[in-house]
Structure 1
Amino acid sequence: MLVLGIESSCDETGVAMVQLQGDAVPTLLAHALHSQIEMHQAFGGVVPELASRDHIRRVLPLTRQVLNESGRTLQEVDVVAYTRGPGLAGALLVGAGVACALGAALGKPVLGVHHLEGHLLSPFLSQDPPEFPFVALLVSGGHTQLMRVDGVGRYELLGETIDDAAGEAFDKSAKLMGLAYPGGPLLSKLAESGDPKAYALPRPLLHSGNLDFSFAGLKTAVLVQSQRMLAAGGVTSFQDLPLQQQADLAASTQAAIVEVLLKKSVTALKQTGLKRLVVAGGVGANRQLREQLNAECAKRGVRVHYPELHLCTDNGAMIAMAAAMRLQSGLQQAVTDYAFDVKPRWPLHSL
């Protein structure tokens, strides 16, 4: 069975082809991705209307590219999958509309997929796929969650963010430092030459006794600290401060975020008694997070699994994979009713 997946939830257009054969882990045949980062940089963040229009321009050329690279034709596709939510409503409608139109034209069924389930199952695309059950740390954009995963569609929410997510803390802190959009990766790069202990920033909810997250207070602390640094330096722009001071604040910010993610993940492993951790989503590409998780889990005899670095961001491969695994498990059937809707807000644990 061939599954064509389309992702268009925010500012990346992704298309991929996955092959499903029996009970084996589905195989990725080809995928193509276009990022809108350059387009949105001038505005300092994603502009939803521009994002939707760009998805319209990109999705069909990317589909042709995937077909060419996979050596398959549209007529050979068995199921067309798409991101149904969560995400930007207009952006989601582009992918859903194209997928259902393709399905109707080909007479093939379609399947709407949960964006976060795509991230959650994306490590199954790696060279070292996990096995169920496991604890999952989902750190994708506006989402930070810890889940117990016993199988496809069998998700128990252990904890989640009550305000800003880890990805938002990276990006918003970076913006306060005058870094370009998207700021998270730039903050991490700047942090490489900084001292993570230079500034005492808070670790919100670290000792809360539960597995929930909160990063809004950290963002405020970064703002206050940066204002102090500007006043002490007699400058008005963060970029006018000595580079070492900039790097120190970036490193201290990253250290606070990573420590919270690390310790909450370890607590989740202790509470569940599981010995396998899956980390998925854009923040899962952070080098410091990976290094510290790997070291801590190695001491505890816990296996850690990540998606490949190029599949940490939003992509069509994770959508095609999630659809294939849902079909494989018998949990869901693709449909030939081509009327569609999207779910901009859609809790993963409601599946």
Structure 2
Amino acid sequence: MQILGIESSCDETGVALVETTGSDMPRLLSHALYSQIEMHQAYGGVVPELASRDHIRRVLPLTRQVLAEAGGTLADIDVVAYTRGPGLAGALLVGSGVACALAASLGKPVLGVHHLEGHLLSPFLSADPPEFPFIALLVSGGHTQLMRVDGVGRYELLGETIDDAAGEAFDKSAKLMGLPYPGGPGLSRLAEQGNPTAYKLPRPLLHSGDLDFSFAGLKTAVLTQSQKIGPAAHTEGAPERADLAASTQAAIVEVLVKKSMTALKTSGMKRLVVAGGVGANRELRAQLNAACAKAKVRVHYPELHLCTDNGAMIAMAAAMRLQSGVQKAQAHYSFDVKPRWPLHELG
């Protein structure tokens, strides 16, 4: 069975083709991705209307590209999967509309996929896929969550952010330092040149006794520290700017690592999965690798090019839901989207 996956939840248009064979792990045949970063940089962030219009322009050419690279045609597709939510409403409607129209024209069923489930299951596309059960650290955009995962569709929320997520803390702090959008990757690169102990920044909820997160206070502390530093906090090449970036990253990473290890310890799990864009952060991976090695815990990540939003994770999540019998694809082409859709409510 071949499953076409379409991702359009925010500022990346992704299309991919995944194949399932019996009970074997689904395999990725081809995928293509178009990022809108350059377009949104002029505005310092994602402009929803522009994002939606660009998805319209990109999704069909990307579909043709994926089919050509896989050596197949539209007739080979058995199921069309798409991101139903969460995300930007207009952007979600583009992918949903195209998917349902395409499926209707082919007489094939469709399946709406949860965006965060796509991230959660994306490590199964890696060379070292995990096994159930495991603890998952989801760090994607506006989401920071710790989940207990016992199988496909079997998710228990252990803790989540009560305000800003880790990705937002990276991006907002980067903006305060005058780094261009998207700020998170730029801040991480700058941090490699700085001293992570140069400035004492808070680690919100580090000793809260629960598994919730809070990064809004860190952003405020970065603003206060940058004002104390003065112009050097925004000056390219200034050591103070690199030190502030390194100190900010150190605060975020320490909280993510400690909470993840606490979740593993309290649950008795010996396997951790890290997914989402922040999961590509080198310092986070280094510290988690070290902590997990010490605790004799296996840690799994998506391939680096699959950390950000992409169609492969949507096609993979659909394939695993179908393969496990958790959900069936439907030949009903009316659709809705869910801009807000908690993952733990997904069955």
Is TM (by shorter chain) over 0.5? yes
Q: Does 1:254 align with 2:249?
A: yes
Q: Which residue of 1 aligns with 2:75?
A: 75
Q: Which residue of 1 aligns with 2:217?
A: 217
Change (3 A) 1:41 1:302: same
Q: How does 1:1-351 map to 2 (within 5 A)?
A: 1-230=1-230, 235=231, 238-240=233-235, 243-351=238-346
SS at match of 1:25: coil
Counterpart AA for 1:19: E
Q: Post-superposition shift, 1:98?
A: 0.2
SS at match of 2:32: strand
Normalised TM-score (structure 1): 0.98
Q: Post-superposition shift, 1:243?
A: 1.4
Q: Where do 5+ consecutive residues of structure 2 fail to align?
A: none
Counterpart AA for 1:58: R
Q: Post-superposition shift, 1:238?
A: 3.3
Q: Post-superposition shift, 1:293?
A: 0.2
8 Å contact from structure 2 (residues 233, 240) kept in 1: no
Superimposed CA distance per residue, residues 57-101 of structure 1 (whole angstroms, 9 cap, x where no aligned partner): 000000000000011110110000000000000000000000000
SS at match of 1:15: strand
SS at match of 1:290: helix
8 Å contact from structure 2 (residues 16, 32) kept in 1: yes
8 Å contact from structure 2 (residues 233, 244) kept in 1: no
Q: Post-superposition shift, 1:312?
A: 0.1
SS at match of 2:144: strand
RMSD of aligned alpha carbons? 0.8
8 Å contact from structure 2 (residues 19, 28) kept in 1: yes
Counterpart AA for 2:291: E
Q: Post-superposition shift, 1:242?
A: 6.0
Q: How many residue pairs are counted as aligned between the two chains?
A: 346
Q: Post-superposition shift, 1:229?
A: 0.6
Counterpart AA for 1:295: A
Q: Distance in 2 between matches of 1:346 and 1:191?
A: 34
User: Which ranges of 4 or more aligned residues in structure 1 deviate by more than 6 Å?
Assistant: none
Q: Distance in 1 between matches of 2:50 and 2:246?
A: 33
Q: Distance in 1 between matches of 2:30 and 2:206?
A: 41
Counterpart AA for 1:302: V
Q: Distance in 2 between matches of 1:35 and 1:65?
A: 15
Q: Distance in 2 between matches of 1:158 and 1:171?
A: 25
8 Å contact from structure 2 (residues 164, 214) kept in 1: yes
SS at match of 1:212: coil
State the percentage of identical aligned residues. 82
Q: Distance in 1 between matches of 2:218 and 2:233?
A: 18
